[in-house]
Structures are given as structure tokens and as C-alpha cells.
């Protein structure tokens, strides 16, 4: 280990590593000595930096290069590319930007990038793209995230801010004060391997074991037994997917009808409970939302629901609602209803109790850390006011000039002529990918910064090859993680690949705005500037950071953990007048007058049950419900070509988890290659049979690179997003609903085609 401490450090969203390189190649990534539970994901980089999928020079799609903007959009993803020089690529991009802005205005540029390209504070591709385009007048942006868009929209109405998503009560308090953790959507450790902005040490797994040892009991409410670690010995309840809202409503009815609700808390800290109570009892609609009512929807015994409600009321209970529950039809409701349940129990603001959003979703949720503000790369001001909810990109491209509702207002889709992506991959994140592929043919130009030939790069017109974190210096400086890490360049860039900063620096020279973009700094000077500004900001919050050169010499620094556990909404509970929430009432809004005023038929101002668009309650006998969860061997689709991800495939196919009863009914055996399909598309997978999944459900992790060879819509690699419905959660949040999806399966090789 002593020798490894001399190796350079780098940091990713999935962990920090000591990098061993030889002859310009990364040969191993060794876990950071401070990490008690390191992730293996980084090993995916070994062997791929100079592999066959690497983009080593600027490339332009052949017919676009020959015919200009608007030529052969239908050939994106199918046509060959032509290598050009950096000077030629820069001139083409600068000329196209001038043309689009002059002829159509800045709102016709959609910069839909996503922020997971690098954990470094400076080399943040999305930030550089926004800074660059803002200097030219701006662009149409996206708002919210694929992870939990509906939750990001509903929480400001209910609790006064989306920051509560990341402000959960710390693990320290769970360990010392919690009796029961009820995990709607589970506590999947594979998701907790990730942390936005970088991970120094993984905390979630060790914290859960500490809680178990301290006597905390766990309830796993999920179609997958593995969504809570086996060592926690959790009770497993497996309702039908997408029925968590109905289960929560049924639990609320039990608390109300058996006089287990804390009326003093509801009266002092919330508004609108009486309206919700009228819904529970059926006074408002004639249907009592009893345990039997919920049992019929969820396919759980009514006695199980009653027993759980009583158990929750008996001791200190933390209700954890997974981010994944927002990715279903009407995904706003689980976050809202989880808050209502916690309010009825009267434990919000108490140590170890209340509500938490996304324990196990990332390493940052529940992490004990100070929260200083750190400096980000200044992006300037975007003068363009048009935007889309992040998951509405297909509609943006399909329907220029069309309208959409979002969070109480009606907006218009601009006429998109140019798409620029730097970071992220819509052919991973989005749903109904065959529909997206058709819409993707409409823009006149698509520009992509990327380092490997994934589906996004293949569907571009101009590809600008960028470096990876292993090929540049940077600094991991995340306000959500206590570790600061100097990220040292370990190997030289592959071919002609450039840092994103240098890519844009080359283009601005052709546009006459180089000084405004660079402010006279090179990358190293920017990194030092960001750190020095962050150090000053931290000092104002009474957090001491070492001088830059001292940090550079040591390589890393850990901020001290707060002495007192963080308890979400503790101040509000102590004095709701002095610490009012940023809701119209200053209280928790079980009923929202503002939302009621939007006039949405499926949301009368408080959460209600509405049948999902696709779920087992309306399925044909031959259909299964698809759960397309996060992968364990990569972040989103990053490093799918790496050895870790590829090693988990079966005969080259992505695994699909099935209950043995469902498999037997279809003549499917262990490791058979199956075709999973519906009217939107199909994909090939290898069947894995297990009792650890609810009957009627199939699970395929996301992240496989899209590989559709023809117009059949069949993905050879097993990307489940060719199957998922592309529809907003509701007019309120307009988030993605990947988990509201029905499919059929059969042995591969059948002559049957998608219906």
C-alpha cells in the first residue's frame, strides 16, 4: 500500500483511485486508501482509453460535410464520418453558429448536455458549453433531471424547496436514534456507489451496517429483494410496481382510522390535512381508501398494510422514498405522500425520524459533511428564456411551435435547428429511443463533444474528440463530499483529443471572443482560481481549507465531520414561526392552494391515486412490467464498453431478471436468449431466473449502448429504453416515466415482430 500512495490520484463520480500507468496506458486503478467500501466501476477504464471505440480526431458526417447543414439527417447513426483537422472543425462550427443565430435566433440552439461527464470542478463539459453559448447570446436549456424531475418540481410546493432532496437526516442520527427505516424503493448500494461531483469515501454501505448493529429494523418495499442489502435482514414487501402511492394512501387511512396520527403536529406544522382526510375517508369522492382498497391495487394483503402502519407509529420511523419512484406515471405523488405519512406520524424534525428522499440513491444522501459553498466556473447570463423539461426532448424536436404545460404555466417549444451535447448521452437517458431516433433527424446540425463512439457520437454531424479525466489535471471540489482531491493527469490524451476547455477555446478564436471566454487564464490558472475562491468562501462559513500548494503536495484533504448530526427540518420543528418554510403558508402543504389553482384534473391540490398509463393492473396475461433500474457496473452508460460491464454479460447479452414462474409459462430456461418487446421496440437479453423478483416483473438495467441496426427497432445490446414510454409524469412535473412500462417476452429467433 505504501508504494500505491505515491501513485497519482484521480476522482470520478463513483470514487477516488490511485492510478497506475505504464507506457502511456492505464494498467490499474487502485482504491483510495481512505475508502472503506470502494467501487469497482473505475476498472472499466483499463484497456479502453486507446481502444477501438476511442475518437482520436475531429470527425464530420460524410453527407453533412458534402452538402452542408440539413443534409441527410435521416442518415445519422448510419453514415460514415470523415476525419478533418481541428482548424477545419473549428471553422465549420463557428460558421454554423453564425448562420443559425443570424437566421433563426439563439433560441433555435438546444444545448441539452447533462452534467455527469467528469467529477472535476473545472473540466465540467456542460459548464463550458453553457459559458461558451452564453457569450454568443444564449440557448434553449433544459430544467430538472432524469433522476427525479417530478420530485424536484413537487417538493418546492410541499416543503418550500428542492434542496431537501439532498438534505436528508445524516446517517449518524439514523444509527443513534432510528427504530425502523421503511424504504419505499429500497436502499440499493449499487446506486450509492455514485456521488455527484465525486466520491472520496463510500459511506452508505458501512452506515447501513452500523444502523443494523445498533438495532434499526428495515422494510424493503420494492419488486426486487436485492434493493436492500441481504445483511440488513429486511422484511420484503413486493407490491405491484408503480403502486407505491396507493400503498401510502392505504397506510395513511390506517393511521387516521385507528387514531394513530399526531393531530397536534398536523395542526401546528401543516396546512390542508382536513381536505386530504376527506379523500381518505371517501367523504370527497365516495370511496374510502382503506387497507382493503390499497390491497386491491397493490396486490398485498390488507393485514400486511395495517400491520406496517401500526409498526411505523410504534417507534421512531424514518420513511425513505427512492428517487426511482418519481420515474413512474404521476411520479410527483410518492414524494408528496411520503411527506404526508411522516407528518401524520409527527416525527418530521426529530432525530432518526421523519422523511428522507433517496437514501441509497447516491453516496451523498445522508453523508455527514460540512456544506460550504464552492466556486463553480462562471457561466454568464443566458439571454434566452425558452426551456424544456429535461425529458421532453423528443417533443421539442417533433413539435416546433407546439405548446406544453409545466408547473402551472403553458410554454412553447422553439424551432430547434442546432443541437449541441457535451456530457451525458440522450440515447441512454431518454425513453422510447426509436421515437427519439426519428425526431433526432430533424435538426439541421448536431454537434457532440465526446471521447468514444457511443450512440450519441454516432448520431452526430460534427464530433469533437475530448479527453477523459485520466488525461488532464483537475480538482475534485464537491460541496456534497468531504474529500478534496487533486486529480493528476496520468496518461497523455489519445490522438488529437482535447480538453473541452481547449475545444471551445479554439472555436472562440474564430468568433472573436477568446478573451471573454478565457479571461486570460489557461486551464491550470482556472483551477487555482476556482480553488482560491472556494477557499475564501469556505472561510466565511468557518471551514478551513489548506493553501493550494499544500493540497497539491499532499494530493487530498478531508473536511472534518460536523460534531452535531444533521436533522432535516429540525429548526422548523423547533420554531415554525422563526423558521418558516418557503411555501405560501410557511408550513408543510398537504393541500396546496397553488397547485389546486393550476386546474389539473389529476391533482386537485392534494395527492390522489390515478391509474398509471401502463401497469400490471391493466396488463394482458402475456405482459410483464419492466423495471429498468440503474446498473451496478457503470454510471449510466459510461464505460459500457469496459471490461467490468462486459464481464457481467451472458454470452454477450445484457441480463434480464425473471421470476421462474413467469419464465416457465413462456418456455424460457436459465440463460436463454430472449426478445423483450412491445409496440415501441424490442431488445435482446439473456434470461436470469430468480425468486428475488416479484412475479409479473422483469428487470433490465439501463446503460447498454444503443445498437439498432435497421428499422425494426431491435436493440442488439439490450437497452431497455427502446421499450419505455415517453410521456411526462403529469402536467405538473413532466418528468420521465420509465418504470410505467409493459412488455412481452419470447425466446429469441421467433418470427413474431413487435405489435
Q: Does domain 59-144+387-479+483-558 have CATH number 3.40.50.740?
A: yes
Is it true that domain 616-747 has CATH number 3.30.420.10? no
Superfamily for domain range 170-189+218-369+575-596: Dimethylsulfoxide Reductase, domain 2 (3.40.228.10)
Question: Which ranges in the chain are annotated with CATH 3.40.228.10?
Answer: 170-189+218-369+575-596
Instruction: Delimit the CATH 3.40.50.740 region(s) of the chain.
Output: 59-144+387-479+483-558
Average per-residue pLDDT for the chain: 96
> Which residues fall within 8 angstroms of residue 117, CB to CB, at 6 or more apart?
124, 125, 126, 422, 423, 424, 500
Q: Choose the catalytic residue: 114, 336, 440, 653.
A: 114
Whether the predicted pLDDT of 400 surpasses 80: yes
**C-alpha cell at position 426:** 440522450
Q: Please enumerate in sequence order all residues whose Cβ is within 8 A of that of 647, keeping only pairs 6 or more positions apart, or say none.
A: 633
Phi, psi torsion values for 651, nearest 5 degrees:
55, 30
Q: Are 465 and 55 in contact (CB under 8 A)?
A: yes
Q: Give me the pLDDT at residue 112, please.
A: 84
Cell of 514: 477568446
pLDDT tens across 479-497, in order? 899 999 999 999 999 999 9
Q: What is the Rg, in whole angstroms, of the alpha carbon atoms belonging to the chain?
A: 25
How far is Cα 630 from Cα 637, in angstroms, rounded to an integer? 10
Which residues are CB-neighbours of 600 under 8 A, at least 6 positions away?
A: 405, 730, 731, 732
**Grid coordinates of 47:** 484497456
Tell me if residue 413 is catalytic.
Answer: no
Angle subtended at Cα 504 by Cα 142 and Cα 120, rounded to the nearest 5 degrees: 70
Element spanning 177, H or E: helix 171-177
Instruction: Classify residue 557 as exposed, middle or buried by CB count within 10 Å of its CB (0-12, 13-18, 19+).
Output: middle
d(C-alpha 123, C-alpha 440), whole Å: 27
pLDDT above 90 covers what percent of the chain? 95
Ranges of CATH 2.40.40.20 domains, the chain:
616-747
Cβ neighbours of residue 522 closer than 8 Å, sequence gap 6 or more: none
Query: In the numeric block, which cell numbers belong to residue 328?
Result: 413512474
Q: Give 255-270 pLDDT, tens digit per residue.
A: 999 999 999 999 999 9
Q: What is the DSSP-derived secondary structure letter of residue 392?
A: G
116 annotated active-site? yes
Give me the pLDDT at residue 755, please: 38
Q: pTM of the entire structure? A: 0.96
Catalytic residue among 14, 45, 64, 116: 116
User: CA 181, CA 366: separation in Å to the nearest integer?
Assistant: 13
Please give the average per-residue pLDDT across 127-153, as a whole number: 97
Q: Per residue in 335-368, pLDDT tens? A: 999 999 999 999 999 999 999 999 999 999 999 9
Amino acid at each position: 500500500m505504501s508504494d500505491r500512495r505515491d501513485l497519482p490520484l484521480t476522482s470520478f463520480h463513483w470514487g477516488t483511485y490511485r492510478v497506475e500507468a505504464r507506457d502511456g496506458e492505464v494498467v490499474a486503478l487502485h482504491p483510495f486508501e481512505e475508502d472503506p467500501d470502494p467501487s469497482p466501476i473505475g476498472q472499466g477504464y483499463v484497456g479502453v482509453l486507446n481502444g477501438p471505440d476511442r475518437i482520436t480526431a475531429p470527425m464530420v458526417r460524410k453527407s453533412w460535410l458534402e452538402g452542408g447543414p440539413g443534409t441527410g439527417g435521416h442518415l445519422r447513426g448510419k453514415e460514415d464520418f470523415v476525419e478533418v483537422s481541428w482548424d477545419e472543425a473549428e471553422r465549420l462550427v463557428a460558421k454554423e453558429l453564425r448562420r443559425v443565430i443570424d437566421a433563426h435566433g439563439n433560441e433555435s440552439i438546444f444545448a441539452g448536455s447533462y452534467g455527469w461527464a467528469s467529477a472535476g470542478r473545472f473540466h465540467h463539459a456542460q459548464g463550458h458549453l453553457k459559458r461558451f453559448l452564453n457569450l454568443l447570446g444564449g440557448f434553449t436549456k433544459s430544467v430538472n433531471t432524469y433522476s427525479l424531475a417530478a420530485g424536484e418540481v413537487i417538493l418546492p410546493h410541499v416543503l418550500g424547496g428542492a434542496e431537501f432532496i439532498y438534505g436528508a437526516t445524516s446517517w449518524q442520527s439514523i444509527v443513534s436514534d432510528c427504530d425502523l427505516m421503511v424504504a419505499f424503493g429500497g436502499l440499493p448500494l449499487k446506486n450509492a456507489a455514485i456521488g455527484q461531483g465525486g466520491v472520496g469515501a463510500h459511506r452508505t454501505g458501512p452506515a447501513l451496517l452500523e444502523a443494523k448493529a445498533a438495532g434499526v429494523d428495515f422494510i424493503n418495499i420494492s419488486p426486487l429483494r436485492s434493493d436492500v442489502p441481504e445483511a440488513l435482514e429486511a422484511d420484503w414487501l413486493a407490491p405491484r410496481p408503480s403502486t407505491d402511492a396507493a400503498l401510502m394512501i392505504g397506510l395513511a387511512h390506517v393511521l387516521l382510522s385507528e387514531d394513530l396520527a399526531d393531530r397536534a403536529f398536523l395542526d401546528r406544522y401543516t396546512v390542508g390535512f382536513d381536505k386530504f382526510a376527506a379523500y381518505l375517508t371517501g367523504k370527497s369522492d365516495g370511496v374510502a381508501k382503506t387497507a382493503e382498497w390499497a390491497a386491491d391495487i397493490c396486490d398485498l394483503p390488507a393485514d400486511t398494510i395495517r400491520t406496517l402502519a401500526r409498526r411505523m407509529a410504534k417507534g421512531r420511523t424514518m420513511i425513505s422514498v427512492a428517487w426511482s419512484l418519481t420515474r413512474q406515471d404521476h411520479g410527483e405523488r410518492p414524494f408528496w405522500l411520503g411527506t404526508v405519512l411522516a407528518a401524520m406520524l409527527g416525527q418530521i424534525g426529530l432525530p432518526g425520524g421523519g422523511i428522507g428522499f433517496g437514501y441509497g440513491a447516491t453516496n451523498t444522501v445522508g453523508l455527514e459533511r460540512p456544506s460550504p459553498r464552492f466556486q463553480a466556473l462562471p457561466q454568464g447570463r443566458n439571454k434566452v428564456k425558452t426551456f424544456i423539461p429535461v425529458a421532453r426532448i423528443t417533443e421539442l424536436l417533433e413539435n416546433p411551435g407546439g405548446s406544453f404545460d409545466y408547473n402551472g404555466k403553458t410554454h412553447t417549444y422553439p424551432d430547434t435547428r442546432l443541437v449541441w451535447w457535451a456530457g451525458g448521452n440522450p440515447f441512454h437517458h431518454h425513453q422510447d429511443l426509436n421515437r427519439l431516433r426519428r425526431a433526432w433527424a430533424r435538426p439541421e446540425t448536431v454537434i457532440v463533444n465526446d471521447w468514444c463512439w457511443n450512440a450519441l457520437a454516432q448520431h452526430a454531424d460534427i464530433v469533437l474528440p475530448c479527453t477523459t479525466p485520466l488525461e488532464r489535471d483537475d480538482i475534485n471540489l464537491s460541496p456534497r463530499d468531504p474529500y478534496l482531491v487533486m486529480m493528476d493527469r496520468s496518461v497523455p490524451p489519445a490522438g488529437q483529443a482535447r480538453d473541452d476547455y481547449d475545444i471551445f477555446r479554439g472555436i472562440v478564436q474564430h468568433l472573436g471572443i477568446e478573451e471573454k471566454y478565457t479571461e486570460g487564464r489557461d486551464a491550470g490558472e482556472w483551477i487555482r482560481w476556482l480553488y482560491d475562491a472556494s477557499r475564501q468562501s469556505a472561510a466565511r462559513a468557518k471551514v478551513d481549507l489548506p493553501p493550494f500548494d499544500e493540497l497539491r503536495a499532499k494530493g487530498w484533504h478531508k473536511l472534518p465531520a460536523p460534531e452535531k448530526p444533521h436533522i432535516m427540518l429540525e429548526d422548523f420543528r423547533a420554531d415554525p414561526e422563526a423558521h418558516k418554510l418557503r411555501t405560501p403558508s410557511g408550513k408543510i402543504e398537504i393541500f396546496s392552494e397553488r397547485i389546486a389553482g393550476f386546474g389539473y384534473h389529476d391533482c386537485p391540490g392534494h395527492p390522489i391515486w390515478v391509474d398509471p398509463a401502463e401497469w400490471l393492473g391493466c396488463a394482458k396475461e402475456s405482459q410483464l412490467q419492466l423495471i429498468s433500474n440503474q446498473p451496478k457496473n457503470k454510471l449510466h452508460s459510461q464505460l459500457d464498453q469496459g471490461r467490468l460491464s462486459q464481464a457481467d454479460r451472458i454470452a454477450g447479452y445484457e441480463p434480464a431478471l425473471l421470476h421462474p414462474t413467469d419464465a416457465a409459462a413462456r418456455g424460457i430456461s436459465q440463460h436463454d436468449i430472449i426478445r423483450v418487446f412491445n409496440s415501441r421496440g424490442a431488445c435482446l437479453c439473456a434470461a436470469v431466473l430468480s425468486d428475488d423478483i416479484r412475479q409479473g416483473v422483469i428487470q433490465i438495467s439501463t446503460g447498454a449502448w444503443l445498437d439498432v441496426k435497421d428499422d425494426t427497432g431491435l436493440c442488439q445490446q439490450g437497452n431497455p429504453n427502446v421499450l419505455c414510454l415517453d410521456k411526462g409524469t403529469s402536467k405538473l412535473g413532466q418528468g420521465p416515466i420509465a418504470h410505467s412500462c409493459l412488455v412481452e417476452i419470447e425466446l429469441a429467433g421467433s418470427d413474431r415482430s413487435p405489435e
